[in-house]
Amino acid sequence: MSVLEARNVSYSYDGKREILKNISVKFETGKTYAILGPSGCGKTTLLSLLGGLDSPTDGQILFNGEDIAKKGLAFHRKNNVAFIFQNYNLIDYMTPAENVALTSKLPPLPILERLGITKEEAKRNVLKLSGGQQQRVAIARALASESRVILADEPTGNLDEDTAEEIAGVLKESAGRMNKCVIIVTHSGELAKRADEVFWLKRGGIYRGEG
Amino acid sequence: MSFIKRAVLYCLRQRFKTAILFLTLTVILTFLLTGIAIREAAAGAAAGVKTSLGGKIELELDADGNMGGGVQNQWGTVYGYDGDLITQDVVKAISSVDGVIGFNSEDAAAYYGAGVDFKYLPAAFDLSYTPYGEASSYTATLSSEKCSAFQSGKYKLTDGRHITPDDRRACMISKELAEFNGLSVGDRVKMYSLDSDSVTEFEIVGLFDGAEGMSGNALTVDEIPANCGYIDYATMFELFGDELSGYQQLTVYVDDPTGIQNVYDKIAALPEIRDRTLKLRIDTEEYDGVSSPLKSLQRSVNITVAIISAVGAAILTLLLTFRVRSRKNEIGILLSVGMSRTNIVLQLFAEAMLTAVISFVAAIPLSIFSAEKAGEFMILADLDVKINAENLLPLCLIGFLLIAAAVSVSSWTVVRSSPRDILTKIS
């Protein structure tokens, strides 16, 4: 059974031109998905709808078979999904440990250490870390939450090739070990290659890609 | 992570922004606390005035329709009051009423006495129209302490005591006149009254000052204030019994001005007063005269406190709006990790309140200082502007409402936006 599903979802910013047209797609735990597509095709919009940051103009987003609108989008964001953004989106007056503690009651240090952040680094201000380290903290925050789905929007977009490679590996390995469903929106073919399944978003429709 | 922990972290880590909010809140709270203290001081002073001045009830002869039919004499028709009088029985009845703490009747220049064994301070003309030279005037009184010159502070008792209702043949003279004649308290002086054609011996019971240096260009001795004194009313009745059957007026003093109406009703119901041609009225003139500037000050301070609150709220809202706008990213992140809008607003409120607590503590010594300065600059004397625990409660309430309103208004736009909109704008 799918953990997250978009069922007949359409979305329009202005009520006239639909950026997503009657899309249906299912995601399962333990798998990594990549959504590819040209700029402006609606990748981030689809991710926002799946994460409850916005509501579809038509159709439903289901979590474990239940419409997320039923319990509220804030509930869905808090309990079912976790985000990783291209620009890390860490709270700048907190340490890495405190950023992770935002979404989890578990001690943050073990997961940060597992992702390569040392104890000393975990106590520094997040802005004093490198881009790669900041993205590791963002991944740790997503993994530490009890959410079963991780939604990543261009998670390696701001990183150099080597770091991007490293981060992609960390994300896939950790999520797989924790049996989470990872949905990555990306332009990067390299990142997409690591995914278990690839979807193409084009002209408002979604198409399963060749792996 | 709870909103309180996030608020504490923000206050500790964003020290510059917290310091700006702290300074703004401290200034607003100091102004507010000083304003509240001045307002309370004015209210306290008004209450104090009420107690110190006490309440007064005036009993007067009702001349309307009681001036008789007129008597023809060589000058024409002479009318005289033929109604009821304020007799000693009336005074006795009033003095027994609960709440009455004293009474006085003051009749200026009721007695003219020429010095038989002493001399008055000389005037420009020596008008020796009595066998003992020129006469000066004396105010007849039941209680000289209650006389207007003493009540207003113009005259002050310097030696001896005041004339009381029990006195007989007692007088008070000015210190200047006493020194001029080498007299002191306890000495006896003789005065001749042309009206009663008699010499009366008075005991000097008290000396007063305040009449010095006003002799100026006086033509007659009674125009020199230092020559004028006070005598008891009983002697007046003794000397002019047939003509003077009662007091011209009587001022009744009550202990509690707030219960003055009750005392008034009791006096009005006395058989000695009821259905008589006497007028009874509550006199609030003196209290009104002193209390109206205080009331006006209270009103001004109320308006000032309201203006400070409104301006403070506006400044605070502006400051917090800038703060919230600069934190769109953070709010978007918090929304994306599932924090509710209420939870985020509570964090903003907690941050402001945590800062306000420190500002509150800082505002107390600052307000004490500014209250002292304000007290010194107050035109009204005896206005004791102090910061006390009672002032802090309204400050807490106003401060809490100001911060709640400012946080609500400043966070409204951003918190109402959809998290996607916020995050899209950030990226």
Residues B20-77 have pLDDT tens digits of 989 988 988 888 888 888 777 777 776 666 666 667 899 998 888 777 777 777 777 7
Contact between chains at A78 and B339 (C-beta distance less than 8 A): yes
Is the four-CA dihedral B344, B347, B353, B355 of positive or negative sign?
negative
Same domain, yes or no: B279 and B353: no
pTM: 0.61
Any chain A CB within 8 A of the CB of B396? no
Same domain, yes or no: B401 and B264: no
Same domain, yes or no: B386 and B300: yes
pLDDT for res B257? 72
Same domain, yes or no: B29 and B119: no
Any chain A CB within 8 A of the CB of B345? no
Same domain, yes or no: B90 and B229: yes
The Cα of B412 is separated from the nearest Cα of chain A by a number of Å equal to 18
The Cα of A210 is separated from the nearest Cα of chain B by a number of Å equal to 30
Q: To which residue do tokens 């992770």 refer?
A: A100
Helix (H, G, I), strand (E, B) or coil at A210: coil
pLDDT for res B50? 63
Size of interface A-B (CB pairs under 8 A): 65
Q: How far is CA B260 from the centre of its chain?
A: 17
ipTM for the predicted complex: 0.80
Same domain, yes or no: B159 and B178: yes
Same domain, yes or no: B25 and B65: no
Interface test with B, best of A19, A48, A134 (most B CBs within 10 A): A48
What are the pLDDT digits (tens) for A77-128?
888 888 888 777 888 888 998 888 888 788 888 888 887 788 888 888 888 8
Degrees to nearest 5, angle at CA B107 with B261 and B166: 75
Q: How far is CA B389 from the centre of its chain?
A: 24
What are the pLDDT digits (tens) for A143-152?
888 888 988 8
Same domain, yes or no: B70 and B113: yes
Residue in A77, A86, A98 nearest the CB of B336:
A77
Domain A28-54+72-197: top CATH class: alpha beta
Any chain A CB within 8 A of the CB of B415? no
- For residues B58 and B281, the answer to whether their CB atoms sit within 8 Å is yes
Contact between chains at B330 and A145 (C-beta distance less than 8 A): no
Q: How far is CA A59 from the centre of its chain?
A: 21
State yes or no: pLDDT of B415 exceeds 90: no
**Band (B214; pLDDT cuts 50, 70, 90):** low
pLDDT for res B155? 92
Q: What is the mean pLDDT of chain B?
A: 84
Residue B391 vs residue B237, higher pLDDT: B237
Q: To which residue do tokens 């035109």 refer?
A: B379
Q: Determine the structural domain holding residue B192 and report its residue range.
A: 55-285
pLDDT for res B112? 93
In angstroms, rounded to a whole number, what is the distance separating the alpha carbons of residues B229 and B135?
12
pLDDT for res A13? 81
pLDDT for res A210? 59
Mean pLDDT is highest, among B70-84, B356-370, B373-387, for: B356-370
Identify residue B231 by its one-letter amino acid code: I
Q: How far is CA A43 from the centre of its chain?
A: 12
Contact between chains at A83 and B426 (C-beta distance less than 8 A): no
Same domain, yes or no: B162 and B269: yes
Antiparallel, parallel or unpaired: β A205-208 and B135-141: unpaired
Residues of A in contact with B340 (CB under 8 A): 74
- For residues B116 and B200, the answer to whether their CB atoms sit within 8 Å is no
In angstroms, rounded to a whole number, what is the distance separating the alpha carbons of residues B172 and B182?
15
Contact between chains at A51 and B336 (C-beta distance less than 8 A): yes
- Count of domains observed in chain B: 2
Q: Among B265, B285, B305, identify where a domain stops.
A: B285
Residue A181 vs residue B312, higher pLDDT: A181
| Helix boundaries (H) for B337-418 | 341-377, 389-416
What does DSSP assign to residue B247?
B
Q: Among B285, B310, B336, identify where a domain stops.
A: B285
Same domain, yes or no: B25 and B126: no
The Cα of B357 is separated from the nearest Cα of chain A by a number of Å equal to 22
Residue in A77, A87, A93 nearest the CB of B338:
A77
**Band (A55; pLDDT cuts 50, 70, 90):** confident
In angstroms, rounded to a whole number, what is the distance separating the alpha carbons of residues B361 and B358?
5
Percent of chain B at pLDDT exceeding 70: 90
pLDDT for res B383? 64
Q: What is the mean pLDDT of chain A?
A: 84
Q: Among B227, B250, B285, identify where a domain stops.
A: B285
Percent of chain A at pLDDT exceeding 70: 98
- For residues B141 and B106, the answer to whether their CB atoms sit within 8 Å is yes
Which residues, in sequence order, are CB contacts of B190 under 8 Å at separation 6+?
B115, B116, B117, B199, B200, B201, B202
- For residues B354 and B18, the answer to whether their CB atoms sit within 8 Å is no
**Band (B142; pLDDT cuts 50, 70, 90):** very high
The Cα of A93 is separated from the nearest Cα of chain B by a number of Å equal to 6
- For residues B297 and B384, the answer to whether their CB atoms sit within 8 Å is no
In angstroms, rounded to a whole number, what is the distance separating the alpha carbons of residues B19 and B35?
24
Helix (H, G, I), strand (E, B) or coil at B56: strand
Any chain A CB within 8 A of the CB of B334? yes
Same domain, yes or no: B43 and B72: no
Same domain, yes or no: B114 and B28: no
Nearest residue in A to B1, CA atom: A102
Interface test with A, best of B347, B423, B424 (most A CBs within 10 A): B423
State yes or no: pLDDT of B379 exceeds 60: no
Q: Which two tokens mark B396?
A: 């807490």
Q: To which residue do tokens 């509150």 refer?
A: B360
